[in-house]
Structure 1
Amino acid sequence: MNHGINILMYHQIGDFAPMQAHRSTYCRVDRFAAQMAWLARFGYRVLSMDEVLACVKGEMAIPERAVALTFDDGYENFYEHAWPILQRYQFPAMVYLIAGLIGKPSEWFARDGRDTPPLMSAERIRQLRREGCDFGGHSVNHVKLAEQDTATIRREVSDCKAMLEDLLGEAVPHFCYPYGSHDIRAVEAVAEAGYACATTCLRAPATAADDPLTLPRKAVSYGDTLVGVLWKMHLKNTPKQPPIRRAAFALPA
């Protein structure tokens, strides 16, 4: 029985020392390779986020074993470690970029005493786009949108779109809420900016009942074995908090 689309959320991919904290922002490259090999071997349908949007809008039937691969922040180690594996299997991927920090260190890590891995440069992003990688917005400064005043939310969302469209020379219809932080003001700002699709950190499969601007995802982190990832994918989770719905999308009672 089809329970929807498992949108998987990754951050960094690479070789990392054992850790106890902040594990959700790391994935070991050997485990990532095993996860992708499993998807390929057992016939999972890896969708682009454009295809996910079409499914959620009812324009395309949700395939069996549907999966989408998303990567937050735009680390250089995506290019080094994840992209060659994705190319091997010809899997589409969505990388969400922090428009104001392109080519800079991930400076917010310093607050936790962690190293600040580099984010991809504009040249690298353009190269990956030519090679078929998809890109979306992740705000200008990687702030928790629900904690900002409304004017700041609008700037973070709309300026991000304008900056990335200037960089890529094409429309950027996809967005991801930094830290998963969003409220109705953030969702409305995303709609007003002209994004067609946005992802959260709410844990569930995406279905046609979801607002395209608050799609759920399932995080893959440092400690997840292949069995653990498969367990997450086959659980029909429900979010810990109800999704925020725009009035225009509210389902009838």
Structure 2
Amino acid sequence: MGGPVVDILMYHSISDRGGATSIAPATFAAQMAAIAEAGVPVITLDDYLAAKDGRGTLAPHSVILTFDDGFQDFADAAWPVMAKHGFKPIVYLPTAYIGREEGWRGIAEPPRKLMGWGTIRALAAEGVQFGSHTVSHPDLDALPEDARGAELERSKAVIEDRLGRSIRHFAPPYGIAGPEVRTAIATLYKTSVGTRLGQAGLGDDSHDLPRLEMFYFTDIARWRAHLAGRGAAYLAARKGLRAIKSAVAKPWQGIASGAGR
């Protein structure tokens, strides 16, 4: 990949719950410390867009921190670690579940609690960015056009109303967003991140950005090697396995979609 490389890291729950969508707090802290020690800058999606549009420059290698679903453990376990390092993440919110337990397909047992609006507003004041993850966390590809539009528009409007700021970024539930859905997303949001495994470059489609599932980097030595530019072979192997899984499984089965809840 020519030009700057951006690792868009994908997280969900920072807890000891286990499974592909949970990272243990101690492991998460070690992953963040490795970024700081490697000197890889943590940027925002807006920084990425500015460089893409020629309004800024990026380091040869940088990181963006993303969290799907807005679980309460983001506030309890993830944000204190990132704040210590001065890292600014983005959290994608499914608005119907704010302050409630997760209730969508493939949920963990017992269900995990999402942050309430008071916590979200406090975090926004401290520098956390927020994006939309729809209203009800559906498979957008399976919805008729009017219902899909409502999911995209209402979630944006609710978050903007609650936080008093523009919401520019989106993550489709389960990472599922076909061409028609991506076109609809692009009318409302500046970026969309999915579950496609890979590193982003300035030439990537802003509404089909790849991410790195951090469940694959719980081995801190492997994560340090990646940050040092020695992880190409491992990433290629993971991509190959993901391609095999996606060829034989439904979109919500297996690690590929478990990562996209």
TM-score by length of 2: 0.83
Distance 1:151 1:176 in 2: 19
C-alpha contact 1:101 1:141 (8 A) present in aligned 2: yes
1:7 matches 2:1: no
Partner of 1:76: 72
Distance 1:112 1:178 in 2: 12
The alpha-carbon deviation at position 197 of structure 1 amounts to 1.1
SS in 2 for 1:77: helix
The alpha-carbon deviation at position 125 of structure 1 amounts to 0.4
C-alpha contact 2:8 2:63 (8 A) present in aligned 1: yes
Deviations 1:123-179 (A, max 9, x none): 000000011111000000011111222222111111111111111111000101111
Distance 1:156 1:232 in 2: 36
Which stretch of structure 1 is more off in the superposition, 230-239 or 92-101?
230-239
Compared with structure 1, are the counterparts of its residues 216 and 135 closer, same or farther at alpha carbon in structure 2 (3 Å cutoff)? Answer: same
Partner residue of 1:127 out of 100, 122, 128:
122
1:32-181 aligned at under 5 Å gives the runs 32-108=28-104, 114-181=109-176
C-alpha contact 2:3 2:201 (8 A) present in aligned 1: no
Aligned length: 234
Distance 1:201 1:57 in 2: 24
The alpha-carbon deviation at position 224 of structure 1 amounts to 2.1
SS in 1 for 2:215: coil
Residue type of the partner of 1:203?
Answer: L
Residue type of the partner of 1:105?
Answer: E
Distance 1:58 1:6 in 2: 19
1:191 matches 2:192: no
The alpha-carbon deviation at position 231 of structure 1 amounts to 5.4
C-alpha contact 1:3 1:205 (8 A) present in aligned 2: no
Structure 1 unaligned regions, length at least 5: 242-253
C-alpha contact 1:57 1:212 (8 A) present in aligned 2: no
Residue type of the partner of 1:142?
Answer: H
Structure 2 unaligned regions, length at least 5: 247-261
Distance 2:175 2:224 in 1: 22
Compared with structure 1, are the counterparts of its residues 222 and 207 closer, same or farther at alpha carbon in structure 2 (3 Å cutoff)? Answer: closer
C-alpha contact 2:136 2:151 (8 A) present in aligned 1: yes
SS in 1 for 2:7: strand
Residue type of the partner of 1:44?
Answer: V
Which stretch of structure 1 is more off in the superposition, 34-43 or 223-232?
223-232
Residue type of the partner of 1:181?
Answer: I
Which stretch of structure 1 is more off in the superposition, 122-131 or 146-155?
146-155
1:216 matches 2:214: no
C-alpha contact 1:98 1:139 (8 A) present in aligned 2: yes
The alpha-carbon deviation at position 3 of structure 1 amounts to 5.4
The alpha-carbon deviation at position 2 of structure 1 amounts to 5.5
Deviations 1:54-78 (A, max 9, x none): 2333432231220110000000000
Residue type of the partner of 1:13?
Answer: I
Compared with structure 1, are the counterparts of its residues 227 and 56 closer, same or farther at alpha carbon in structure 2 (3 Å cutoff)? Answer: farther
Partner of 1:244: none
Distance 1:181 1:188 in 2: 13
The alpha-carbon deviation at position 207 of structure 1 amounts to 0.9
Residue type of the partner of 2:197?
Answer: R
Distance 1:91 1:51 in 2: 13
The 4+ residue runs of structure 1 with deviation greater than 3 A are: 228-234, 236-241
Between the two proteins, what is the percent identity of the paired residues?
A: 32
